[in-house]
Structure 1
Amino acid sequence: MLQSPENDLFPFGLQDTKLSSNFRGRLVACLVVLGAAGTVSTAQSARSEIVETRDQQDHAGREPPVQVAREFQAEKSNTHKSLQKKANDLRLEYVAQQTNNLNTAEALPTISLQEGWNLNQALSMPEWFELNASILSQNNASFSSPQVQPTSSNLFNLGFRLMPLEAVRNGFSWQRDSTSPEQQAHQSFQSKIAINALFTQRAGQILSSSIPNQLNTQWNFGNGPIARLNYLNLEYKAEGELISMVKLGKLMQAQDFTVNPIQCYFSNFGLCGWAEGVPSMIDIPGNPFNSYGAVVAFGDSNNVNLRYGIYQIAPDTFAPKYHGLDFRFNQGNGVAHFAELRVPILTKAQIPVQVSQQNHISKASSWDQANAIYQSNLPPGTITLGGWLGSGSFQTVADSESADSTNNGAYGIFSLRIPGFSLGLDHRIFLSGGLGFNPDVQKFYSGGQAGLVIEGLLPKRPFDTFSIGTSYASFNSDYFLLGLVPETYTPGTEWATELNYSFNLNQSLKLMPNIQFIVNPGGDPGVSPAVVAGFQVWLFF
């Protein structure tokens, strides 16, 4: 059943402030009148007592005249009952209109992004086994000098989620569970335990290798064809409990820390979180990381929550020759600790809208003016504060033959919906930044991102997104990208700005043309800016 947005200021969760304030004013007025009436009635009662006392004194030995007191008492009672009835009538009218408004919101149709082709439904997969597959193709060309050849970078992902205890309980039946939604809502212990895995196959080249620049123009993890196991872990997940998640095994650090999904509405990898263009992270090898570790989360994800992770630092186990399948425990040369505090900023995913006869969709000023409910796809707003501590052996930037024992840093991410913002149906702004505390072993002193994502900017394209964002990387003065000549310049700060529009046709297909501006590529202020055009295609199954 659909629900209207909640508002703690008013009962029944409605946001119609005009209606609420109107009734509230009328109720307050009635209460004031009741108070005044009570004061007058008290005075009248006192007056009747004085009259009766005087009468008793002036006419001793005769029966006291109580008629005046009775009249005052009757008037007091009638006035109080009349005002009380009016107040009750107003309250009932308020409740009735609020309830009608709530029922209207529940009866409104919901507009959501159309489903695409679902691999699990097509294969009739059981509830205890879920497949996830996707293909990402990114094609980029630069129009700056010197000219570089256009490149195409492709990434194929195949993952699964297996609930072994649920499978045992169902006897490994390949039929979908026929339990009711009410039964499914009560999560059993068996369904809280899962095995997760992700395999990738990359191919093609990244344009940033030719420019060269640090803030990668495309999502990918290196050049050339190679297949890898990204992660393989055992997970316990129980929303609402004190310990809401525990994960053990081969882990991908960026899956649990340092990234907000809103940052990844871009092609430039420097904008998507922390894998590029920020303080050089702990030397968990590459991204995907595939490192032994454990993560535990405390608290419900919908409320303030805290998570902690510990990872083995073992760069050699992720060498291409192993394809992520090196399961040796004794290859580590250090340990990385991550901690992150998340404070959700409540943003309702259901938004009241008006749909015209021409199928133009626009935001409604209130629920009573809406004729449909819009289901936003943007992630909720959050405030995230985190950091890491690394201990082990870390190669220094200035001298590859030397090492240091610590690598520490901190970061923050902030995203929210701006009240009163009129463009589109929904939006998020985000701001993030990070700082390294050990520059001797970190390739970047600092880095950060900022951007705006608008969903439903065009009235007839409610689920497309328009995004604009920028990121920067402040280079360690001793760090030079591969392909650049050391000692010929002093590395400074590289900037990347991207403008894109994503055509989200359904939940399976997204097409995103984009344009990027790279300033000071490689941190070299003497190099001309690079202008990059790109086209990204996402297929989800």
Structure 2
Amino acid sequence: MHRSRLAMRPKSGKKSVLARRQNQHAGRVRYPELGQRRLILLHARNRGEYRLVIGDGVICLGPKIEFSACAVVLALTSAAFGQDTIPISRTNRSILQPEEEAQIEQPSGFVAADHMTGDWGGLRKRFFTAGVEVFAFDNSIFNGNVSGGIHPGHATIVNDAFVGLKFDLEKLVGWKGGLFVVSGIDRAGEDLTRKYVGSIYSVQQMVGGQRPFLYQVFLEQKLAHNKIRLKLGRFSASDDFNASPFYGYSLNNGIDGDIRNVLFDTRFSAYPFPVWAAAVLLDPSPNWNMKFGIFQTSKDMFDNTEHGLDWSIRGEDGYTAIAQFGWTPQLFKQPVSSGASDGKGVPAFVMKGMPGHYQVGVTFSQWDFYPRFLGGFEDHSYGFYVHGDQMVYQEAPGSDQGLYVFIASGYYPQTEISIVPFQINVGLHYKGLFPGRDDDRTVLHFIYGELSDDYARSVHMPGRHFAESEKVLEVGHRFQVTKWSYIQPDLQYVIDPGGTGDIPDVVVIGAQMGVTF
């Protein structure tokens, strides 16, 4: 978790900066009582600036040239009039690039240094303080098959842009624990895998959709001190299920962004394809969590020509139900200085260990149109997935630098509809391997996918071998150039592409780049 880099102004006695500002203008500006109104627009003539009062907080909007920004805030918060003051608490989770997993904890305040475009002259922080958070990410992959595959010697570039807005409804309209999210995606670029490589697993995890999409449109409600989160609207299962931050360091779609056979063998909705959905996310204790969701299943859910705008629900649609259970321990805890003091000059200590994340999930889908490879349809699909990651070496007690190991697997036993009934992924990640590069990641991944006999028979060509399994070995190093940018050179070696052994093994070299705006 990054520390906030917001400059802290020195305090005068026990009064905060906000209190001093209010006192400075107490003789010139009279604020209405909070019980009467929570949102007031004022113009301080002697200072020539506009001010927005939200509850007991004051946002200095600056001179007239910035009045349009105030108008936006007023439009979003108009329903706040007539509300009583409610304690404001911002969610501690932010939406990141789905490839890097949406469950990464974030600082509780806006940090300009984490964004390429900074604070927009202070406007972005004002929006954030008022309850509007803007997020934008852009990632690209440029790679090519230097040997092997269908047609060696080709390279392509693919791109994924993800932008959106988060509205903290508690700050805006006094809706305690409410959050509204809307986001969009734009994908572009030519698919290297299908035309030139010939593997089951895509060597470019950003391929799929390749058009602009309206992605998330959902409402979230937090309850019981954020231990319960309810989501309803348009989003995908991969936002909350079958995911891990470790997957985002792979360029191969067999790992990033989900255990791939869960997507191959069900109608498991995944980024960038949203569906109607509802989910309950439970965090009853620091070490345990549970998630339950139900998602729309339809023929057109992966149709990229609709741009995410087909919101219809048809009588022939089915559903996919998911349950996931997680355990997040810290092993081998040791006392680590908290940086605080007991007031007597003796440093305080907290117990920290090596973090781990373990989860098991089960999916069941009822839908009448699962196509059997050898003809006909199946009316349901089911399977299981597991994931475990654990820090196994720590450079210093309490440090996040060291070696991490993860193992993930999916099992979908219906060979008549499952392309890859069994898959296992293994990864080694070292954070801060080289001196002076504390935020870099050195990664090694391996994927094994066992193909079903029914699938092998359905794609078999006379004189060729039957498909059996495909393997991928990947190595890369992510250079964290700044807080808001990275570049990751990467090499993939695909063994038995397509699973038959008839296509020569493939060497793919390239890089992934990303920016947080």
Deviations 1:466-498 (A, max 9, x none): 010111221123336999858833111111111
| Cα-to-partner distance string for 1:12-57 (whole Å, 9 max, x where unaligned) | xxxxxxxxxxxxxxxxxxxxxxxxxxxxxxxxxxxxxxxxxxxxxx
2:166 counterpart residue number: 161
Q: Which of 430, 446, 451 lines up with 2:406 in the alignment?
A: 430
Q: Residues 505-538 of structure 1, C-alpha deviation per residue, up to 9 Å, x if partnerless?
A: 2221001001010001011123221000011101
Q: What amino acid is aligned across from residue 219 of structure 1 in structure 2?
A: Q
Letter in 1 for 2:424: G
Report which structure shows greater RCO (CA 8 Å, sep ≥6). Answer: 1
Q: Is the 8 A contact 2:460 2:467 kept in 1?
A: no
Distance 1:318 1:431, change over 3 A: closer
Alignment-mate amino acid for residue 215 of structure 2: N
State TM-score, norm by structure 2. 0.68
Unaligned runs of 5+ in 1: 4-112, 170-189, 354-372
Higher percent of residues as helix: 1
Match for residue 512 of structure 1 among 488, 492, 504: 488
Q: Is the 2:230–2:278 contact (alpha carbons within 8 Å) kept by the matching residues of 1?
A: yes
Q: Equivalences for 1:84-233 in 2 at 5 Å? A: 115-117=113-115, 121-122=119-120, 123-124=123-124, 125-127=127-129, 128-145=131-148, 146-169=151-174, 190=175, 192-209=177-194, 210-222=196-208, 225-233=210-218
Alignment match of 1:405 (pick from 379, 397, 402): 379
- With the length of structure 1 as denominator, give the TM-score of the two structures: 0.65
Cα deviation code 1:330-351 (max 9, x no counterpart): 2652111100000002279999
Contact 1:234 1:248 in 2 (8 A): yes
Aligned residues of 1:285 and 1:314 also touching (Cα < 8 A): no
For structure 2, which runs of at least 5 residues remain unmatched after alignment? Answer: 4-110, 338-348
Equivalent position of 2:256 in the other structure: 272
Cα distance 1:151–1:117, how it changes in 2: closer, same or farther (>3 A)? same
Q: Deviations over 1:347-370 (max 9, x none)?
A: 7999979xxxxxxxxxxxxxxxxx
- Contact preservation (8 Å) 1:233, 1:247: yes
Aligned residue identity for 2:452? N
Distance 1:301 1:153 in 2: 41
In structure 2, do the counterparts of structure 1 residues 413 and 380 end up closer, same or farther at CA, with 3 Å as the change threshold? same
Q: Which runs of 4+ in 1 moved over 6 A?
A: 347-353, 420-424, 480-484
**Which residue, 495, 499, 502 being the options, matches 2:478?**
502
Structure 1's 490 and 192: CA in aligned 2 closer, same or farther, altered over 3 A? same
Q: Which amino acid aligns with 2:299?
A: P
Other structure's SS at 1:115 match: helix
Residue type at the aligned position of 2:384 = A
2:367 aligned to which of 392, 396, 400: 392
1:16 alignment partner in structure 2: none
Paired residue type of 2:510: G
Q: Is the 8 A contact 2:394 2:400 kept in 1?
A: no
The number of aligned residues is: 387
Match of 1:452 in 2: 428
Whether 1:311 and 2:295 are equivalent positions in the alignment is yes
Change (3 A) 1:449 1:162: same
Q: CA deviation at 1:297?
A: 1.7
**Are residues 506 and 191 of structure 1, via their aligned partners in 2, closer, same or farther at CA, if it must alter by over 3 Å?**
farther
Q: Superposition pairs for residues 78-89 of structure 1, below 5 Å?
A: none
Please give the secondary structure, in 2, of the residue aligned with 1:522: helix
Which of the two has greater strand per residue? Answer: 2
Distance 2:334 2:437 in 1: 17
- 2:212 partner letter: A
8 Å contact from structure 2 (residues 291, 325) kept in 1 = yes
RMSD over aligned Cα, in angstroms?
3.5
Say whether the 8 Å CA contact 1:480–1:522 is kept in structure 2.
no
The structure-2 alpha-carbon separation of the partners of 1:206 and 1:330, relative to structure 1 and needing over 3 Å to count, comes to same
Offset at residue 212 of structure 1 (A): 1.1
